[in-house]
Amino acid sequence: MAHSTVGVIFSNIHDENIPELSRHRTMASVPFGGRYRLIDFALSNMVNSGITTVGIVTKNNYQSLIDHLGSGKDWDLARKDGGIILLPPYSDETDKPYTTRLEALMGITGFLNHRSEDYVVISDCDGISHMDIGDIVRYHEAQGADITMVYHEEIEPCESSYFITLQPDETGRITGLKINPSRLKAGKKYNLYVNVMVMSREFLINTIQDAVTRGFSSFGRDILTKNVDTLKIYGYNFKGYYAGVNSMEDYFRHSMELLRREVRDEIFGNRDIYTKVRDSAPSKYLDGAVVKNSLISDGCVIEGTVENCILFRGVKVGKGSVVRNSVIMQDNVIGENVSLDCVITDKNVVIRDRKTLAGCETLPYFVSKGRML
Amino acid sequence: MLRKKECVAMLLAGGQGSRLYALTNNIAKPAVAFGAKYRIIDFPLSNCINSGIDTVGVLTQYEPLELNEYIGNGQPWDLDRAFGGVHILSPYQAKKKSSWYEGTANAIYQNMYFMKKYDPDYILILSGDHIYKMNYAEMLRAHKATGADCTIAAIEVPMKEASRFGILNTNPDGSIYQFEEKPKQPKSNLASMGIYIFTAKKLFRYLEADDANPDSSKDFGKDVLPAMLNAGEKMFSYRFKGYWKDVGTISSLWESNMDLLGRDPVFDVGSPDWKIHSRNPLAPPEYIGPTGVVENSMVALGCEIEGTVENSVLASNVVVEAGATVRDAVIMAGSVVKAGATVEYSILDENVVVEENAVVGESKEKNAGIAVLGRSIRIAANAKVAGGQILDKDYKGE
């Protein structure tokens, strides 16, 4: 059934959630989990559900995304028919590139028209989960829904700049839908929409065309909230682990959650997460290395102490250095006798001998790409 | 202009590797795992692509399935090409006759059509038995500079081991005046590495003559090279200085894995200037747990380590549970060492399970030899596998 579904991934939406990490890249290409980019989780969910065509909507800063995706072969998405199809913004002299999700969808109607799949699954890149898209499409079909929105029950109020909560009735039909509701109570359960949505392709195309003629601009306000009584909008309760990246604090917290076995089992167990292959050598642990409760990617060379950390590919940790509670991205070089605690370093950072950097769990110290300290 | 390739590589990968015992029960030697994520064949294939040679015939015969699957369309080595690329060449049934490859020379002879399709000027003959990094383009330059018909890569070996090799006796200019296959009293310690560059037309002519000769054993070292030398063809040695290791025995395979360890390893697979390409495991980063200890080791993706790992090479998805110890060991993908078990001075093939409190091998200092556990076998709880023991079936032990 998932063979009859085409994927659409929004690579830029939510960039503002973690401006430090998305300054030079899309949300989709934000590194996560040692050797992945956020888009790998959304893409792998689709590929593992049998989807073979994924349109990727981009807007700006997408060089790193193109570099990451290449031909799509690492996701088994280098296909004669379909595969990965990049959808950069379309504009001519009179138009500006899109500013809303609905305008972006208007810009890809050509792509949607040319496909033959029955269903479209639309996903953003701000979530890390193991989601079977096939289950959601089957649910959508069984309910005879116009739109199925995936939600996750969250206790923590959402800090995102833009979020939607859903009120389903006992059949799953959404009877109330709020955009950016205020006065959320801590400790109370909310059904947070996780930015994954299923529609029939035909319904989506008709909806977009209708929105164009009426001059709508917001998918949330003009289509979802206005039509909650007339459209059959259903909620799919995703009960698995879901990590939404809505802030740097979230990013840090969810990175550290990967150190828990049950989280790793759910995200990585029984299936593959596809990512770009780099042909790094296996990581090396030298005499004197002390590594505890950490995820270490390929190409690392460790001579110091690493505790409660996520090390991306090709990180060097020198003798006498102690790195704790930190996320160290690709090709960082950490010299000797360095001390790091609650630090997030972007790619290609060099930290010279005897430096000390520390943040705290709610405010990790961030070092931007390519800096030398 | 017709499309052509200046140099086509032919990689002899049919070897059984019988001295690797249980490790080659079901796979050809070039497919044997090495260095936590590689297989032996990754080295000649990476050398080819890094040297600018993008057309490689891989000749398989013994247990080819896993090797064929591993090579696939050659994409991991950038050898998936519209013209050229890597091709598996198995023995085939022809209209007039069909036969297995009878020797190294015969294997190449039977694939004359493949080589001629690319109209090559030079043929590079390789084997899939060695771990080394070598720029074949430099060897080809030397071949052209000397105007040789055949250039043989050669390396100095310890004199006392020279009788195990094909030995080249050379003039000061590097030209070869004598070729001795495994001589009892070697005159020199310059050993052939089994890497040859031939001027294509010459090679084709000698292969045809060799095929017509009923007394020939159809082997490069024994027949073709001596025949060329006797006929007065220009043959030169090409000196290679660097790491080159035949991993055809249990002990050399173990040693070569250990050569990767340390800050300044004897052999560096991680240097960016000569990348070793391989098919990559799809696995998350390795996890070292709160009780894990990992020192002087190489660990691949997907491993879960809660126990102690020292002086060892662990391939992808190996599990070492809390209280288990792995020392001086080479463990291939997917194997599990359960709580309280000890693995010392051993080689474990893929998907081996060592149950709780079992003991595999003996301390290296006891000189009992390397214990070898074949693919997918299970060592029962509390069982004891002696040092030097080679097992290819489940073992309940004492």
**Does A310 reach chain B within 8 Å, measured CB to CB?**
yes
- Tell me the C-alpha distance between B83 and B3, whole Å: 9
Angle at CA of residue A272, ends A270 and A274, nearest 5°? 165
| Cross-chain Cβ contact B276/A292 below 8 Å | no
**What average pLDDT does range B236-258 have in this prediction?**
96
Residue B255 predicted with pLDDT over 60 = yes
- Tell me the C-alpha distance between B331 and B78, whole Å: 28
Query: Would you state the pLDDT for residue A305?
Result: 98
Residue A3 predicted with pLDDT over 60 = no
Residue A92 predicted with pLDDT over 70 = no
Of residues A1 and A208, the one with the higher pLDDT is A208
Residue A140 predicted with pLDDT over 90 = yes
- Which residues are bridge partners to A32 per DSSP? A36
**What average pLDDT does range B207-229 have in this prediction?**
94
Residue B1 predicted with pLDDT over 60 = no
**What pLDDT, in 10s, does the model give residues B91-127?**
887 777 777 888 899 999 999 999 999 999 999 999 9
User: How many contacts (CB atoms, under 8 Å) link A and B?
Assistant: 103
Residue A33 contacts residue A81 (beta carbons within 8 Å):
no
Residue B272: closest CA among chain A residues belongs to which residue?
A280
Query: Would you state the pLDDT for residue B288?
Result: 98
Q: Which long-range contacts (CB under 8 A, 24 or more apart) does B253-260 make?
A: B253/B20, B253/B23, B253/B32, B253/B34, B253/B330, B253/B347, B254/B330, B254/B347, B254/B370, B256/B34, B256/B131, B257/B34, B257/B35, B257/B313, B257/B330, B258/B311, B258/B313, B258/B328, B260/A284, B260/B35, B260/B36, B260/B298, B260/B313
What's the mean per-residue pLDDT of chain B? 94
Sign, Cα dihedral of B363, B366, B372, B376: negative
Chain A residue numbers with beta carbons less than 8 Å from the beta carbon of B315 are 282
| Cross-chain Cβ contact A273/B282 below 8 Å | yes
| Cross-chain Cβ contact B292/A291 below 8 Å | yes
Question: Cα-flanking dihedrals φ and ψ of residue A152, to 5°?
Answer: -135, 135
**What pLDDT, in 10s, does the model give residues A106-132?**
999 999 999 999 999 999 999 999 999
Q: Pairing mode, if any, of strands B244-246 and B130-132?
A: antiparallel
pLDDT band at A192 (very low <50, low <70, confident <90, very high): very high
**Does A202 reach chain B within 8 Å, measured CB to CB?**
no
- Tell me the C-alpha distance between A221 and A100, whole Å: 11
**Does A77 reach chain B within 8 Å, measured CB to CB?**
no
The first and second tokens of residue A361, run together, are 């769990």
Angle at CA of residue B160, ends B159 and B165, nearest 5°? 75
Residue A293 predicted with pLDDT over 70 = yes
What's the mean per-residue pLDDT of chain A? 92
**What pLDDT, in 10s, does the model give residues B287-304?**
999 999 999 999 999 999
Query: Would you state the pLDDT for residue A160?
Result: 65
**What average pLDDT does range A31-46 have in this prediction?**
96
Q: For residue B226, how far is the Cα from the chain centroid?
A: 25
Residue B269: count of CB within 10 angstroms of its CB = 26
Q: Which of B255, B262, B326, B345 is nearest to B296 (CA)?
A: B262
- Tell me the C-alpha distance between B279 and B77, whole Å: 8
| Cross-chain Cβ contact A299/B270 below 8 Å | yes
**What average pLDDT does range A287-299 have in this prediction?**
97
**Which H helix or E strand runs over A150?**
strand A147-154
**Which H helix or E strand runs over A21?**
helix A19-22
Residue A284: closest CA among chain B residues belongs to which residue?
B298
Query: Would you state the pLDDT for residue B171?
Result: 96
**What pLDDT, in 10s, does the model give residues B367-385?**
999 999 999 999 999 999 9
Chain A residue numbers with beta carbons less than 8 Å from the beta carbon of B293 are 290
Q: Which long-range contacts (CB under 8 A, 24 or more apart) does A62-70 make?
A: A62/A11, A62/A12, A62/A26, A62/A29, A62/A86, A62/A88, A64/A24, A64/A25, A64/A26, A64/A29, A65/A11, A65/A25, A65/A26, A65/A28, A65/A29, A65/A37, A65/A39, A68/A29, A68/A37, A68/A39, A68/A276, A69/A39, A69/A276, A70/A276
Residue A166, min C-alpha distance to chain B (Å): 34
In angstroms, what CA-CA distances link B3 with A130, B79, B111? 48, 17, 19
Residue B22 contacts residue B349 (beta carbons within 8 Å):
yes
pLDDT band at B83 (very low <50, low <70, confident <90, very high): very high
Of A219-228, B213-222, B231-240, which has the strongest mean pLDDT? B231-240
**What pLDDT, in 10s, does the model give residues B258-277?**
999 999 999 999 998 999 99
- Tell me the C-alpha distance between B211 and B334, whole Å: 45
Q: Could you write out the three-class secondary structure of chain B? A: CCCCCCEEEEEECCCCCHHHHHHHCCCCHHHCEECCCEECCHHHHHHHHHCCCCEEEEECCCCCHHHHHHHCCCHHHCCCCCCCEEEEECCCECCCCECCCCCHHHHHHCCHHHHHHCCCCEEEEEECCEEECCCHHHHHHHHHHHCCCEEEEEEECCHHHHHHCEEEEECCCCEEEEEEECCCCCCCCEEEEEEEEEEHHHHHHHHHHHHHCCCCCCCHHHHHHHHHHHCCCCEEEEECCCCEEECCCHHHHHHHHHCCCCCCCCCCCCCHHHCCCCCCCCCCCEEECCCCEEECEEECCCCEECCEEECCEECCCCEECCCCEEEEEEECCCCEECCCCEEEEEEECCCCEECCCCEECCCHHHCCCCEEECCCCEECCCCEECCCCEECCCECCC
**What average pLDDT does range A66-75 have in this prediction?**
93
- Tell me the C-alpha distance between B290 and A192, whole Å: 34
Query: Would you state the pLDDT for residue A1?
Result: 47
Residue B140 contacts residue B211 (beta carbons within 8 Å):
no
Residue A124, min C-alpha distance to chain B (Å): 22
- Tell me the C-alpha distance between B131 and A273, whole Å: 31
Residue A339 predicted with pLDDT over 80 = yes
pLDDT band at A9 (very low <50, low <70, confident <90, very high): very high
Best of B299, B303, B304 to mutate (most A CBs within 10 Å, chain A): B299
Q: Is the pTM for the entire model greater than 0.90?
A: yes
Query: Would you state the pLDDT for residue A25?
Result: 87
Q: B355-375: string of b/e by CB count within 10 Å (b at 16+)?
A: bebbbbbbebeeebbbbbbbb
| Cross-chain Cβ contact A295/B285 below 8 Å | yes
Residue A60 predicted with pLDDT over 90 = no
Residue A256, min C-alpha distance to chain B (Å): 12
Residue B398 predicted with pLDDT over 70 = no
Best of A285, A312, A331 to mutate (most B CBs within 10 Å, chain B): A285
Residue A242 predicted with pLDDT over 50 = yes
pLDDT band at A291 (very low <50, low <70, confident <90, very high): very high
The first and second tokens of residue A39, run together, are 């888009």
Of A274, A286, A293, the CB nearest to B282: A274
pLDDT band at A24 (very low <50, low <70, confident <90, very high): confident
Residue A295, min C-alpha distance to chain B (Å): 5
**Does A260 reach chain B within 8 Å, measured CB to CB?**
no
Residue A247 predicted with pLDDT over 90 = no
**What average pLDDT does range B133-147 have in this prediction?**
98
**What average pLDDT does range B195-214 have in this prediction?**
96
User: Which letter does DSSP use for residue A213 in this model?
Assistant: H
**What average pLDDT does range A249-278 have in this prediction?**
94
Residue A324 predicted with pLDDT over 50 = yes
- Tell me the C-alpha distance between A310 and A312, whole Å: 6
Chain B residue numbers with beta carbons less than 8 Å from the beta carbon of A298 are 37, 285, 300-301
Residue A158 predicted with pLDDT over 80 = no
pLDDT band at B323 (very low <50, low <70, confident <90, very high): very high
Residue A115: strand, helix, or coil? coil
Residue A234: strand, helix, or coil? strand
Query: Would you state the pLDDT for residue B92?
Result: 81
pLDDT band at A2 (very low <50, low <70, confident <90, very high): very low
| Cross-chain Cβ contact B298/A284 below 8 Å | yes
